Structure 1
Amino acid sequence: MEGSGEEELGTSQAHSQEGLRDVKGRYRALFNLVKENRDELMNLSSDHGLNEVMDEASGLYSHAGASAQIQALDAQLLVVITDLLQEKASQLFVEGNAFDSSAFAEHLLNFMGFNRLEDEDEENGVATNGRLPQDAWLRVAERAQCCFKTAPTFHYMMGSFVAEPPPKQRVERQKKAPTKEAQRTMPAQLKQMEESHQEATEKEVERILGFLTSYHAEDPTSPISYYEFVIDPTSFSHTVENMFHTSFLLRDGMARMYLDANKLPCIAPVTSGETDKAESAIRKQCIMSISMQSWKDLIEAFEITAPMIPANSQNVE
């Protein structure tokens, strides 16, 4: 049974190869036919030759199963036929140049039923008046109807042409220029606010320096932890303000920071004997940031229960 199946498969493949060769041969025959009968196929009075070639090629293409080789042959034949049709169309255009418009107009008038009156110009012998019947153009339309497909329906490309009034343009009001009195008052107000803010910052820095100095004087040998000094366990915003104001102490050389034996930051005031050394030493600045979670973790790690810098009563609303 297995042997008979293989034989049938081999036989079908042989038949398919033989059919493919036959289709290729018929395509070559079409190429030779077009080449040998080129002048006859280019005759404007007959189109049967090219139509027959195209019909036969279509049958071969559908019968061969559209293999890659057949597709290539069909494409080549289509290119040859297209070139012939292009040359044929150019001949039609050349003959169209000999078109007699007067004869066509006379033939059109006769077809439309133009009624020439008897009164003619005696000198030229030409009818001076004439009349077309009411259905003259209808006759032309009915005659031309068979040459065209149905007319496309009319539609708007951008919707209906409903006229709408244009939107009213807003007239922007011009802002009034500040008067001379306002121009004089505004800088004075800003300057006063800036001076008051700077004065409040300086007072808060001096207040924090007083706390740092008093803590250091109580026990000069015991280091003051930086985090225990600036953190307020009851207020995150006050902690941030303490860090901000303490930075001015470090910047101006009124306090210094160092690391203890556990590599933790400590802070201490700068005494009068250390002022000259602090001025001559190279200062280094860094940016410290703190988040709400870090603030909570530091309170838990250092077991901070009360702030070392009490909130200023003047700043509490």
Structure 2
Amino acid sequence: MPKSSRNAEEGEEMELEPNGDTEDLPYDPDQNREERREIRKGYRQLQEDESLQNPNDVGIDRLTEQVQTANVLFKRVKGPQEATLDSAFLLQASGLGAAKARQMKSGSGTFDIDDLVAKLITFMGGRKHADERPENAGSDDEIDDDGDAPLEWEKIGRKALAKSRRVPAMDFMLGPLSIEQKKRASVKRAKLEKDKGEERKPQELKEDDIQRSENETTKNVVALQNMLDEIGGSINLFKFVVNPESFGQTVENIFYLSFLIRDGVCALEFNEENEPMIFLTERPTDEDYQQGLKKRQMVMEMDQETWKRAIEVFEIKKSHIPTRKAAQTKLGNKWYG
């Protein structure tokens, strides 16, 4: 389809030929698909080249050749997707070039920047050579780098001009060599003085201050077992554990009863009216489990709505299990419940 553009001054439309020259356009959304596919293929071949994966395997000539190939491909790039591939390869080539630069060696050792700076200072008159020292100077005597005489930048400037066509400036070579190295000043931090009047020692607890109480769980489990033994038969689970005066102790009663069921001393089953009934039973032996007896566990949910509903349905007026006093522990001069 031919492209069209409007002349803003004359209000006329100008038709471009379908086969017009678009090679100089930086962006061409209608670039030939086959050409774009060929460009992408070329960039992927450059990125997947095995010789460019390891800096130790690639040579400078090979890297230069691949970069030149990418430059040829970039002349045909007219879309953002192909430009992204070119940027990715350029980043890969830059990383390889930096790795090769770090591997460069001068003589038997790596390139030492500090050694270069030291030689530059000496060349510009910052230090005196050994043959220029006085005869009475010791081996440890040195001329201060930050002496009164400034560095002769003209000497290194003339050397640099021989390798460059840049116009020299008046302050061209003023650099870090003439700047004194700043030393970090030590900062003394003021110590935080605490008010000793506000200091308090922790409360010392003696053995007599802590009243040792017997194991409440074991005591209450045994009490529930004795109550079931006095009943001599089965009883409704809710009528046995529900305490109409305390929701918390109702939950505790279910907790203590679970130990009897776990040990096989108490059994739970549903009667003909589908009421949960509990009763004492003989503790099973290892032979009973070997003959196929299995333990079954269940999770019983008890919230306040269920607790109130059980009191209403089963007409529970008084708790079968006596209400227990809240356990208290004395620590020092205070009681904790």
Normalising TM by the smaller chain, what interval? Answer: 0.3 to 0.5
Q: Which protein has the bigger helix share?
A: 1
**Length-normalised TM-score, structure 2:** 0.36
Which has more radius of gyration?
Answer: 1
**Length-normalised TM-score, structure 1:** 0.37
